[in-house]
Structure 1
Amino acid sequence: MASPTNGETSYFAPITNGDTSAQEKHPNDLPDLELNPVKSAHLVNDIVHCFAWNNLRVDVKDRATKKPLSILTDSKGIVHGGEMLAIMGPSGSGKTTLLNAVAHRVAAAGATTTGDILANGQKISWQKLRQLSSYVEQEDALIGSLTVRETMQFAAGLALSSKTSKTERMRRVDDLIASFGLQEQKHTIVGTPIKKGLSGGQKKRLGVASRLVTDPKILFLDEPTSGLDSTLSFEVISYIKEIARRHNLIIIASIHQPSTSTFKLFDKVALLSKGKMCYFGPLPAAHGYFSSIGYDMPPETNPAEFYLDLINTDLAKEGDNVYARVQDITQKWAECGPAQRVETEIEKAIAAAKTSAHIPDLTKLKPDKPSLMAIPVVLLQRSWIKAYRDIVAYWIRIFMYLGLAILMGTVFLRLSHTQEDIQPYINAIFFGSAFMSFMAVAYVPAFLEDLHTYQKEHANGLVGPLSFSVANFFIGLPFLFLITVLFSIPAYFLINFRQDGSAFFWFVLWLFLDLVAAEALVVFISVIFPVFVVSLALTAFINGLWMCVDGFLVPMNVLNPFWKYVFHYIDYQAYVFQGMMVNEFKTEIYDCARAANGEFHCMYPSDLNAEGKIRGTAILENFRISMHEGQWIGITIAIIAGYRILAYLVLRLRH
């Protein structure tokens, strides 16, 4: 807002004329702020009584000067059990930075975080904080094809100890579903792009409930009301507040422009501007504090809007006093009594941790996690339900491959054992193996959804890279085998490949390995580049490269040595193509063309040419293909394992 002119007084500006009582009243003269206004009657959380951060600072490297740039400066705060803290500020103020920093997460890309994170006055490591807390992302990891109850059950399975009985687990799940008002929707799916499920507010509630089933003592919420209207926002925060009071939880949420009714549900507020604290304390006391430093809030004004507009520099124009106002507010907060009392409260908590025998020692708290095998089993169960319900994951691919099989079968229809049809046979083998592999790019969106879910659960300490990798690999095998069989039956018999039971088995085996390898490639590329367009383009490009060097388009005796020795021998399509060629031609005999004078014209030299025949092995010799099927199977499996292991290592190193 523009600075006042012509004698007008902005309610953002300190009062400088007329009544000067507010101007003369120094913030140090304010009465003590009650830092723990919530007195819960149900103190279930007897482990973490308070959570604090002290001298928290986050620096990044300035792109222009390459020098350290502070995006969060000397932040202090303390939240007690049963309280809800709202972290607020305009865009770029440092809300998410502060939330991530206090949650012991990466505050920003390339950032360096210093300062103390304290629970019960004790410094707490990120590993210990993971045991005590849960973090709900702005877009939480909900799987659209699962029902509300299934979502809660699987969340419990990933977090609760194997010592927790099934009865206790289900009781906890049902209690939370009822507490968040989702009883009537417990058998409703979350919702997919194809099938509608929960409303936006119900999804937000389910996202929080699925984190609370893990029994956290501290809950971090990143924009829990984003995308919701004021009514749904109030509904979501009301449910969270009720749970927090009932179980004495500590709730810390970043929030953007809440309605008046939603804003008043919070017990404390932290106001940030340009990474500096403008206010921290009880929400009711904020009005008096800002009045005391000369910034009165007009009547019938949304307090959240007033505070945000007061410290927002985004829309500042030339001649405005916005920057001076924000500097004035941050400087006065740093020097005022309420800020010093926050620091004193933190110091008291630290002192109490050293002297009181009633405060639990969090360093001795042992994690009570599920057994080593429990998590992969839960992931397999969840992935199985998702796979057979989610049309996008596999069913669309099944119809795609079935359509391709019918297309191929009718184009290469009933090929005969004459030399004119030898090349169409080879073309059909190449086309089938190459395009089966190429069309695996359709798995990219489904895997990225799974990866997104994993990243959120891993950040909360629930799922490790090994469990995720193992479950993802094994759950795909039956569906890939089903795709292979459904493709092979029409394609094999319509084209008239070698009519032999064992030959059909080998055909299915080679295509199955082809699909498994192609899916492993998708996984490897997607974990490195978890962006849909990038993963899709790179996977398609690499499959195109494999087509070029597999030995069909350019024979091995012609292929450039660089492409041959660098790429051909790691090309799984090459081994699949060779294996299918051997399977088709190793025992077959084809008729040569016969001229009008009765002479035979044979395309491939063979010991049967004199009889007007071509032995199939002559075709293999022409393509420089030997018969080492067992070796090729081993190499293909090694390539599959290589992709999967590399993907696992990327996940482990990156997350």
Structure 2
Amino acid sequence: MKGSDDVEKDAGGDYAHLTNTVIRSFGWENVTVTVKDRSTKQPKDILSGVNGIVKAGEMVALMGPSGSGKTTLLNVLAHREATPSATVQKSLYINGTKTSLKDFRKISSYVEQEDALVGSLTVRETLYFAAKLSLPSSVTKTERIARIDALLAAFGLQGQAHSLIGTPIRKGVSGGQKRRTSVAAQLITSPKLLFLDEPTSGLDSAASFEVMNFVRSIAKKYKILVIASIHQPSTTTFELFDQVLLLSRGKVAYNGPVSSVRDYFTTLGYSMPLYINPAEYIIQLVNTDFSKDQSLASTQLSVLQDSWSKSASAVTIIREIESAVSSSPTNSSSSAELQNNASANKLMVPLTLIHRSFIKSYRDVVAYGIRIAMYMGLAIMMGTVWLRLSTDQSNINAFTNAIFFGGAFMSFMAVAYIPAFLEDLSLYQKERLNGLYGPTAFMLANFIIGIPFLFLISLLFSVIAYWLGNFRPEAGAFWVWVMWLFLDLLAAESLVVLLSSLIPIFVVALAATAFANGLWMSVNGFMVQPETLNVFWRYVFHYIDYQAYVFRGMMVNEFGKRTYECGTGCHCMYKSVLESECKIDGKAVLESYGYDTGNVGKYVGYMLVITLGYRLLGWLVLYLRKH
């Protein structure tokens, strides 16, 4: 791995060129997060009166035992949801001035604890798309490549640059390498305020040190403010931080220079042994979870928290925040300063997302590969079960059943898209919270990228099933069949997008989608003909059932221009004008369902409206779900 000095030289002027905004300090005052206790139903503070300030070029470590409030505090500071159904009291200042969420996102970036990466992209491609989505159009291709190369070198990822991140089916880079990729992808945006949630998770001590050492070198050189929650760093990694904010049970036990930790706790009567990791020692000091005497441990913790709150250092922090506020420029001046940070061309963002999705779609077997195989298997099964049906009246029901089966199960099997969409959704949520793009660009790209793949599935399925089943043997009829299947899949996938956006949990989304498809099958007009369908189901669900229009359209396509033999004895099952010729006009079959051969264009329009409706509802869900 290159040394940090070499990396800074490689990065050259790119980073300086992209960081126009001057952030002198970031302070927070009286951060308190309150939730309702599940057992007592009374208000409970999970963070209480937390103050702090970080200055340009400094790195602050948020530390404490599990459940101490580290991630909650990090989320509050990053203008994110602290925890569901919580009441948050906070005062956040950049250069002593409160800022809007929009302005805040222009200068900050957040690295999640869980890596949200596209598994079918390579490491280099991950950084490439991070750059395309975040860097202003004024940055040239050469500058962008130089920046990517510098970060790959800095994080020891040169050897894995062309390796896939990894999917459930295809093995990729290690967990530690994924972590480094996540951090590098956020640094490429050149933030002035960087939040890291457990950045060393999954890394060994050497890799942890190198990652944080690079972050430190960039922070010092370009005056970036870094706030990281970190669980139990090694001594060398801990000493890279300038400040440490130690939490326990939501309150501060220490907030000051790393270099003063030993002296501070010694003055309180807790002498730190010489050959011990200071980070490990102070966490054990405030951790009451494993104490045999909980009462004694709680008393000791209260003493530590009270000692800090009454200390001169705590008072100094408050004064520094107040001083920054009193000396800050007007809100309008501060806002104008933040506006200097350019962002990516908004018109190009959907194209970038489409490009990224296209790569994922043809590489990720889960996205469409498995689905194509499933549909081909279904086509072969359907074609061989309904094999070369003759145009005898005894096969009319078989043709009808095949039409229902083909349309209904094609849409039902769209549930296979849920895992791939949830991966995309997870990445979208992370990138939206970092201010890269919103639900409009995401939904637009997701819809457009699905069109060619869904059409390919419809075509391949039809080539097998249509001709094996001996449906109306005309080229025009075949392409109309393909059209209806395509519209069927388009609506089905849009339903998956809506329900998965509404309930982004795999098992629940799967159950909800299966239930919805079962409902549409029941009321689409095959099980019970529309005219005799229960009034409630007919008027509430049948007319918004996309499967109903697919079934109707495919029935008209098959029976609208075809005749059937009545067989021996000329006992025709359906009365038609051709009965005297011992034949059945297919239109008589349509009449039994209440269908006519007109209005096909209207039904295609209904399908498009339903599909658009699902997409708009999905967009609305994502728009309203801001966290």
User: Would you say same fold, with TM above 0.5?
Assistant: yes
Indicate the residue corresponding to 2:353 in structure 1.
379
Instruction: Report the CA distance between 1:230 and its aligned residue.
Output: 3.2
Indicate the residue corresponding to 1:486 in structure 2.
460
Indicate the residue corresponding to 1:203 in structure 2.
178
Indicate the residue corresponding to 1:654 in structure 2.
625
Is residue 2:597 matched to residue 1:622? Answer: no
Is residue 2:49 matched to residue 1:74? Answer: yes
CA distance in 2, matches of 1:362, 1:90: 37
CA distance in 2, matches of 1:537, 1:418: 40
1:91-110 alignment to 2 at 5 Å? 91-110=66-85
Indicate the residue corresponding to 2:3 in structure 1.
none
Indicate the residue corresponding to 2:132 in structure 1.
157
CA distance in 1, matches of 2:189, 2:347: 18
Instruction: Report the CA distance between 1:319 and its aligned residue.
Output: 5.9
Say which of 566, 578, 601 aligns to 1:592.
566
Paired residue secondary structure (2:119): coil
Indicate the residue corresponding to 1:443 in structure 2.
417
1:2-41 alignment to 2 at 5 Å? none
CA distance in 2, matches of 1:583, 1:319: 76
1:217-366 alignment to 2 at 5 Å? 217-318=192-293, 320-354=295-329, 361-366=334-339
Instruction: Report the CA distance between 1:185 and its aligned residue.
Output: 2.2
CA distance in 2, matches of 1:157, 1:144: 18
CA distance in 1, matches of 2:462, 2:294: 74
CA distance in 2, matches of 1:354, 1:560: 69
More displaced 10-residue stretch of structure 1: 562-571 or 45-54: 45-54
CA distance in 1, matches of 2:294, 2:184: 49
Q: Which amino acid aligns with 2:338?
A: L
Indicate the residue corresponding to 1:607 in structure 2.
577
Q: Which amino acid aligns with 2:562?
A: E
Q: Which amino acid aligns with 2:234?
A: S
Question: C-alpha deviations, 1:152-205, integer Å up to 9, x for none?
Answer: 111111111222222222222222222222223222221222222222222111
For the aligned residue pairs, the C-alpha RMSD in angstroms reads 2.0
Say which one has the larger Rg: 1
After TM superposition, the score normalised by the length of structure 2 is 0.93
CA distance in 2, matches of 1:401, 1:641: 24
Contact 2:418 2:509 (8 Å CA) reproduced: yes
Paired residue secondary structure (1:361): helix
Instruction: Report the CA distance between 1:318 and its aligned residue.
Output: 4.7
Indicate the residue corresponding to 1:89 in structure 2.
64
- Judging changes above 3 Å, is the alpha-carbon distance between structure 1 residues 163 and 232 closer, same or farther for their aligned structure 2 residues? closer
Instruction: Report the CA distance between 1:285 and its aligned residue.
Output: 0.5
Contact 2:179 2:201 (8 Å CA) reproduced: no
Question: C-alpha deviations, 1:110-152, integer Å up to 9, x for none?
Answer: 2222232122222222222111110000113211111122111
CA distance in 1, matches of 2:196, 2:96: 22
Paired residue secondary structure (2:109): strand
Contact 1:204 1:236 (8 Å CA) reproduced: no
CA distance in 1, matches of 2:212, 2:338: 30
Paired residue secondary structure (2:316): helix
Contact 2:130 2:188 (8 Å CA) reproduced: yes
Paired residue secondary structure (2:89): strand
1:536-547 alignment to 2 at 5 Å? 536-547=510-521
Instruction: Report the CA distance between 1:354 and its aligned residue.
Output: 4.8
Instruction: Report the CA distance between 1:295 and its aligned residue.
Output: 1.5
Is residue 2:611 matched to residue 1:636? Answer: no
CA distance in 1, matches of 2:335, 2:604: 53
Indicate the residue corresponding to 2:529 in structure 1.
555
Contact 2:288 2:294 (8 Å CA) reproduced: no
Instruction: Report the CA distance between 1:480 and its aligned residue.
Output: 0.3
Contact 1:592 1:600 (8 Å CA) reproduced: yes
Question: C-alpha deviations, 1:378-428, integer Å up to 9, x for none?
Answer: 111111111111111001101110111111111111000101111111111
After TM superposition, the score normalised by the length of structure 1 is 0.90
CA distance in 2, matches of 1:57, 1:363: 30
Is residue 2:99 matched to residue 1:124? Answer: yes
Question: C-alpha deviations, 1:581-628, integer Å up to 9, x for none?
Answer: 00001111111121xxxx312111122222211110011111221222
Contact 2:243 2:258 (8 Å CA) reproduced: yes
Indicate the residue corresponding to 1:523 in structure 2.
497
Contact 1:201 1:236 (8 Å CA) reproduced: no
Contact 1:417 1:591 (8 Å CA) reproduced: yes
Which runs of 5 or more structure 2 residues have no equivalent in the other structure? 1-7
Contact 1:201 1:233 (8 Å CA) reproduced: no
CA distance in 1, matches of 2:146, 2:334: 29
Instruction: Report the CA distance between 1:262 and its aligned residue.
Output: 2.4
CA distance in 2, matches of 1:476, 1:620: 33
More displaced 10-residue stretch of structure 1: 101-110 or 66-75: 66-75
Indicate the residue corresponding to 1:564 in structure 2.
538
Q: Which amino acid aligns with 1:213?
A: I
Indicate the residue corresponding to 2:405 in structure 1.
431
Instruction: Report the CA distance between 1:81 and its aligned residue.
Output: 2.1
Instruction: Report the CA distance between 1:496 and its aligned residue.
Output: 0.7
Q: Which amino acid aligns with 1:433?
A: G
CA distance in 2, matches of 1:489, 1:319: 72
Instruction: Report the CA distance between 1:320 and its aligned residue.
Output: 4.5
Task: Indicate the percent of aligned positions where both proteins have the same amino acid.
Answer: 55
Contact 2:498 2:618 (8 Å CA) reproduced: yes
More displaced 10-residue stretch of structure 1: 107-116 or 236-245: 236-245
Paired residue secondary structure (2:607): helix
Instruction: Report the CA distance between 1:65 and its aligned residue.
Output: 5.3
More displaced 10-residue stretch of structure 1: 434-443 or 617-626: 617-626
CA distance in 2, matches of 1:651, 1:407: 38
Say which of 12, 17, 28 aligns to 1:53.
28
Question: C-alpha deviations, 1:86-109, integer Å up to 9, x for none?
Answer: 101112211111111111111111
Larger proportion of helix? 2
More displaced 10-residue stretch of structure 1: 372-381 or 345-354: 345-354
Indicate the residue corresponding to 1:3 in structure 2.
none
Question: C-alpha deviations, 1:235-262, integer Å up to 9, x for none?
Answer: 3323322332333321111111223332
Contact 2:176 2:201 (8 Å CA) reproduced: no
Indicate the residue corresponding to 1:147 in structure 2.
122
Indicate the residue corresponding to 2:153 in structure 1.
178
CA distance in 2, matches of 1:452, 1:391: 19
Paired residue secondary structure (1:48): coil
Say which of 533, 541, 564 aligns to 2:507.
533
Question: C-alpha deviations, 1:502-541, integer Å up to 9, x for none?
Answer: 1001000000000000000000001100000000010011
Contact 1:122 1:362 (8 Å CA) reproduced: no
Paired residue secondary structure (2:33): strand
Contact 1:514 1:573 (8 Å CA) reproduced: yes
CA distance in 1, matches of 2:625, 2:145: 34
Q: Which amino acid aligns with 2:91?
A: D
Paired residue secondary structure (1:353): coil
Count matched residues: 609
More displaced 10-residue stretch of structure 1: 331-340 or 104-113: 104-113
More displaced 10-residue stretch of structure 1: 209-218 or 364-373: 364-373
Instruction: Report the CA distance between 1:630 and its aligned residue.
Output: 1.0
CA distance in 2, matches of 1:165, 1:465: 27
